[in-house]
């Protein structure tokens, strides 16, 4: 999988580093001083690197936890934060904002998770915390490489005033199936129509596989969130999303769904500029988006129609209070992060 693994000098003695290196015994290990020496090189080609993604093991320095942006949805939580134990992801979604945000497609794993927990504990002494841990990656998708999610769940189960959201497109629930589901962990699946998955979300599991995972999690007692975000304005979108929603609730009983989020594709202007350079052949990225306060998204009328259409379909299955809408007029692309 990874032919080359860059290891920061500071990271080489961490147990997680040894754990990851043991999983890839044939990889070429390259010692580096700081992860940015590799990750931050100028003129890297994100798309080329995605075809042969390499791994960087590093030690994160403070800050470890960031306040959630006011324009991102907090699902009703007052103290909303996010954290990133990994940068980048194994998938290769055409619309992913990470390709506009990071200079490299190589996967960075921070091995000093205990430092993250220390900062979380300091925050928890002040107030309850809602923490999204899969913000700039898809942690569940790489749980077999490094068991970050299990570790965070273990931490959350010892800290009841912490609520953790794990957003994913993976079908990797089995990696967590042996755990007792804590009440303060939400497993959130991003769902898209199968045609959208095949065309715009390369390397991700099918809709059926994601739903199977989500259903199993719900049956085992986990809080399951479904994210129809980002909605994409693709040819035949009404029919595609109608069928996707029908398929979803045929697979998962509505009573087993904790809540739902809906949002259209949106991305900061500067990110899209880079994303278009990285994918010059992408019709999706070259759509003539409208700029609203530095965030590019579909024209307001299109966005409103998509949200209305999907929300109305959704209300056939779940009560309105379980449906959270992301304000597409000003939120950066929070929904496309997994």
Partner 1 sequence: MMVIYTALYHEASPLIEHLRLHKATLPAPAPGRLQWFTGTPDPFRRPVHLIIGGTGPLAAAVGTTYAITRLLGDQQADTGEPAPIIFLNLGVAGSPRTDWPTGVAVLCHKIIHRDAERAYYPDILIDHPFREGVLETFSHVVRKMPAPGVTVAGDVVDMEGAGCFAAAAAFLPPHRMFFLKIVADHLDLSADSPSLTDRKASALDGEAVSRLIAVHIPAIVQLLMQAEAAETARAAPLLSREEEGCIHALAEQLRLSVTMSFQLRQLCLHYKAGGGQDLPERLRPWLTYPVKNKHERNAVFAQIRRTLLPD
Instruction: Count other C-beta atoms under 10 Å from residue 275's C-beta.
Output: 23
CA distance 313 to 88: 33
The yes or no reply on residue 203 touching partner 1 (CB under 8 A) is: no
The yes or no reply on residue 4 touching partner 1 (CB under 8 A) is: yes
What one-character-per-residue DSSP string does 242-278 give? Answer: HHHHHHHHHHS-GGG--EEEEEE-EEEHHHHHHHHHH
The yes or no reply on residue 161 touching partner 1 (CB under 8 A) is: no
The yes or no reply on residue 280 touching partner 1 (CB under 8 A) is: yes
The number of angstroms, rounded, from the C-alpha of 207 to the middle of its chain's C-alpha atoms is 16
The closest alpha carbon to 58, from 39, 40, 34, 38, belongs to 34
Q: What angle do CA 275, 197, 303 make, to 5 degrees?
A: 65
Which residue in the set 7, 16, 20, 38 belongs to the binding site for partner 1 (CB under 8 A)?
38
Pairing verdict, β 4-8 and 55-58: parallel
The yes or no reply on residue 238 touching partner 1 (CB under 8 A) is: no
- The residues, ordered by sequence, that sit 6+ positions from 84 with a Cβ below 8 Å of its Cβ are 110, 135, 136, 137
Enumerate the β-bridge partners of residue 28: 4
Which residue in the set 12, 21, 36, 44 belongs to the binding site for partner 1 (CB under 8 A)?
44
The yes or no reply on residue 282 touching partner 1 (CB under 8 A) is: yes
The closest alpha carbon to 184, from 154, 210, 147, 143, belongs to 154
Q: Give min distance, CB of 273 to partner 1, in A.
A: 11
The yes or no reply on residue 177 touching partner 1 (CB under 8 A) is: no
Of 18-26, 57-65, 165-173, 286-294, the window that binds partner 1 (rule: CB under 8 A) is: 286-294
Q: Give min distance, CB of 2 to partner 1, in A.
A: 12
The yes or no reply on residue 19 touching partner 1 (CB under 8 A) is: no
Write out the binding residues for partner 1, residues 45-74 only, by CB under 8 A.
Answer: 45, 47-49, 51-52, 54
Which residue in the set 1, 15, 19, 33 belongs to the binding site for partner 1 (CB under 8 A)?
33
The yes or no reply on residue 9 touching partner 1 (CB under 8 A) is: no
Which residue in the set 37, 114, 219, 327 belongs to the binding site for partner 1 (CB under 8 A)?
37
Q: Give min distance, CB of 259 to partner 1, in A.
A: 31
The number of angstroms, rounded, from the C-alpha of 20 to the middle of its chain's C-alpha atoms is 21
Question: Which helix H or strand E contains 306, and what residues bound it?
Answer: helix 300-314
Binding residues for partner 1, total number by CB under 8 A: 31
Q: Which spans of this chain sit near partner 1 (rule: CB under 8 A)?
A: 3-4, 6, 28, 30-33, 37-38, 41-45, 47-49, 51-52, 54, 276, 279-284, 286-288
């Amino acid at each position: 999988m990874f032919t080359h693994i860059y290891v920061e000098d500071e990271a080489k003695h961490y147990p997680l580093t040894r754990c990851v290196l043991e999983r890839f015994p044939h990889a070429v290990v390259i010692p580096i001083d700081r992860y940015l020496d590799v990750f931050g090189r100028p003129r890297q080609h994100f798309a080329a690197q995605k075809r042969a993604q390499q791994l960087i093991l590093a030690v994160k320095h403070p800050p470890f936890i960031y306040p959630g942006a006011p324009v991102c949805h907090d699902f009703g939580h007052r103290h909303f934060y996010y954290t990133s134990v990994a940068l980048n992801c194994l998938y290769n979604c055409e619309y992913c904002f990470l390709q506009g945000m990071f200079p490299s497609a190589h996967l960075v794993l921070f091995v000093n998770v205990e430092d993250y927990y220390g900062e979380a504990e300091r925050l928890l002494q002040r107030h309850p915390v809602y923490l999204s841990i899969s913000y700039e990656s898809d942690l569940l998708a790489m749980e077999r490489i490094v068991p970050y999610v299990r570790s965070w769940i273990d931490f959350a189960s010892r800290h009841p005033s912490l609520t953790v959201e794990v957003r994913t497109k993976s079908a990797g629930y089995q990696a967590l199936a042996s755990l007792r589901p804590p009440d303060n962990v939400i497993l959130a699946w991003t769902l898209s129509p199968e045609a959208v998955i095949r065309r715009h979300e390369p390397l991700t599991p099918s809709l059926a596989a994601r739903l199977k995972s989500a259903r199993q999690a719900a049956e085992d007692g986990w809080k399951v969130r479904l994210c129809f975000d980002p909605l994409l304005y693709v040819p035949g979108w009404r029919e595609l999303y109608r069928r996707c929603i029908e398929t979803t609730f045929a697979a998962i009983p509505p009573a087993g769904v904790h809540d739902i989020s809906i949002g259209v594709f949106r991305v900061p202007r500067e990110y899209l500029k880079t994303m278009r350079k990285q994918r010059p052949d992408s019709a999706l990225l070259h759509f003539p988006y409208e700029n609203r306060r530095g965030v590019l998204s579909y024209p307001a009328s299109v966005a409103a129609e998509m949200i209305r259409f999907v929300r109305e379909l959704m209300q056939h299955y779940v009560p309105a209070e379980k449906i959270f809408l992301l304000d597409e007029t000003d939120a950066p692309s929070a929904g496309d992060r997994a």
